[in-house]
Amino acid sequence: MIGLDALGIAAATLPAAVAAHHALDRTEPTRWRNTGFWGLFAVLLGGGPWLPDLLNGCLVLVMVGLATRGLRPLPPAGSDAAAQAGQGSRLGNWLFVPALAIPAVTLAGTLSIGDGRIAGFAAIDPKQVTLVALTAGAVVALLLAIYLTRPPRSAPVAEARRLVDAIGWAMVLPQMLAALGGVFALAGVGRVVADGVVSIIALDTPLVATIAYCVGMALFTMVMGNAFAAFPIMTAGIGLPIVIRQFGGDPAIVAALGMLSGFCGTLMTPMAANFNMVPAAVLELRDRFGVIRVQWPTALILLAFNIAVLTLCAFPGGLVP
């Protein structure tokens, strides 16, 4: 049965390919440092569940040491600019097909095999159907991109390395911050947050509780830089005990829109460096906060929309407790 372990192995192929590309590049002075960093990341993603916890922790510390010394690789030779322009003119809007294939395949897979059964056979863990569909969508998108552009064989890995090197160690931030959120949840930070909120605001109606939960998700995400880190804290403190248990909110709706509210915070914080600061550097924007300045109005509108939808749809008994 395909589950998280198999998805971890699939995700490990990207850093593994990048590590191999660095190892084979004899012109790069820091190739072994970069090879070690991305190679260890691949090992943790693909083999972490089977390794002892102590060993996993030691490998993370080695990665930190490698990143601290600096990952400053020379950029690989990119595709010819004239060739890219010619490809763009030839393909036109067909260039969008690979990108659109990802959500299309993800949605189709989630809706068609929601129980994880294919031809009556339990092939996929029902809890991970969406992630499996997303992985399949990424593979389909890659194959479509190769078919449409017909690049040299080494181009996909070389371009993957170019993008990964531009992002650098910040690419690992989502996993690190998600782990930090889990640690905070086990330490009882959610309970402390809930007590602090209740001491200031009376969470005596579903509407007020919903606003506190969604706004709290956005604010904590802005502080921690990642919605996955904020989710266990705010859900354990407000979402689960108050919005769901006390007022009877639908768990699926509360969790989905709560996480989406956290992503609103992601759009507005420099702490989400891999989303907001790195693109500004890669695009060589004069204003390093330019991405955030463009995104924050949309983030606030989406946050208000999330609150309204959660309030109207998550409570079968109505808004009056």
Task: In whole angstroms, give the CA distance from residue 62 to residue 212.
Answer: 39
Q: How far is CA 6 from CA 2, 96, 124, 157, in A?
A: 6, 28, 10, 21
* CA-based nearest residue to 44, from 62, 28, 27: 62
CA dihedral 157, 130, 136, 280 (to 10 degrees): -30
Instruction: Retrieve residue 118's tokens.
Output: 């294919």
pLDDT in tens, 132-161: 899 999 999 999 988 888 877 778 888 888
More confidently predicted of 236 and 188: 236
pLDDT averaged over the chain?
83
- Classified as helix, coil or strand, 249 is coil
Contact 206, 246 (CB under 8 A): no
Q: Which amino acid is at 34?
A: N
Region of poorest pLDDT, from 56-60, 192-196, 300-304: 192-196
Q: If you count them, how many residues does the chain have?
A: 321
What is the three-class DSSP state of 221? helix
Number of helices and strands (H, E) in the chain?
Answer: 14, 2
Q: Phi/psi at 14 (nearest 5 deg)?
A: -65, -60
Q: How many angstroms separate the CA atoms of 53 and 176, rounded?
A: 15
* Calpha distance 244→261 (Å, rounded): 16
- Any idea which of 42-56, 79-93, 155-169, 230-244 has the lowest mean pLDDT? 79-93
- What is the reported pLDDT for 191? 73
- The letter for the amino acid at 317 is G
Check if the beta carbon of residue 209 is closer than 8 Å to that of residue 260.
no
Structure tokens given for 195:
């007590």
Confidence grade of residue 310 (pLDDT, cut at 50, 70, 90): very high
> What does the pLDDT look like over 191-214, one tens digit per residue?
777 777 777 777 778 888 899 999
Tell me which of 26-35, 225-234, 298-307, 310-319 is least confident: 310-319
User: Percentage of residues in the chain with pLDDT exceeding 70?
Assistant: 91
- 280 closest CA partner among 198, 194, 167: 167
Q: With contact defined as beta carbons under 8 Å apart, do 79 and 151 qualify?
A: yes
The pLDDT of residue 82 is 60
Range of lowest pLDDT (104-113, 130-139, 184-193, 284-293): 184-193
**pLDDT confidence bin for 54, thresholds 50/70/90:** very high
**Residue whose token pair is 């097909």:** 97
Residue 39 has pLDDT above 90, yes or no: yes
Residue 306 pLDDT class (50, 70, 90 cuts)? very high
Angle among Cα 156, 159, 162 to the nearest 5 degrees reads: 150
The C-alpha angle 224, 301, 180, rounded to 5 degrees, equals 15
Sequence-distant (6+) residues with CB within 8 A of 13 are: 42
The predicted-structure confidence for 77-96, as pLDDT tens digits, reads as follows 555 556 666 666 777 778 88
